[in-house]
Amino acid sequence: MTLENSDRFQELKKWFFKYRLRNGVEGCYPISGSDKERLWNGLQKTCKEKGVNFFEFDSKTHRILMQASQLIFFQFLFEPICGITHEDCNDDEDNDSYPVKFYFTNSPRPIILQVEEDEPDPEDEGNEGEMSNFLFSALHLCEKGELLHVTDEDGETAFFRGSSIALVEIPLEVFQFENACTHKDNTRVSK
């Protein structure tokens, strides 16, 4: 067992629960490692249930009661939101991550996640990479009320209620075209 996976490390690590509700309310609460584990395991199931389904957890100063059916987005963060978008603080041109913008049905403001370039898993033929897998799930597997997920560049997983997503903007650089060649007219053809 590595230190990162130990219960003691998880409890000492600071976690934050970032969310957006259907009515546009969004925020971020500091939570304990044990609450993070409990919410991680419980929310994915609870969000699929019909009817009124509340869950509760403690932040540093408040006990929070939230209705899971009103969550359209949530993410567990290692560190708090700094209030600056990635583009504001990024002057490195050789960036290994790309901003993916998620627009929801209730707000013109996107949630932006930094993701790495897709890397297909050579041992798993169905795993084409994080964003390719997200697109496949959204296009072919997502049913009403179901949660989709994306893991960002920091390894933090964000969950989205599929029926609340209006638009997703994914930079083309995220997708690898190893099995394609480019013609003079910039069209791609499979090899």
Distance CA 3, CA 38 (A): 20
Residue range 86-115, pLDDT digits in tens: 333 333 445 688 999 999 888 888 999 999
Distance CA 135, CA 80 (A): 28
Instruction: Give the domain extent around 123.
Output: 3-190
Residue 3 CB contacts under 8 Å (≥ 6 apart), including other chains = 9
pTM for the complete prediction? 0.65
How many domains are there within the chain?
1
Q: Above 60 in pLDDT, residue 180?
A: no
Q: Above 50 in pLDDT, residue 179?
A: no
Residue range 30-86, pLDDT digits in tens: 998 899 999 998 888 877 776 667 788 888 888 888 888 888 999 999 876 554 333
Higher pLDDT, 169 or 48: 169
Higher pLDDT, 144 or 115: 115
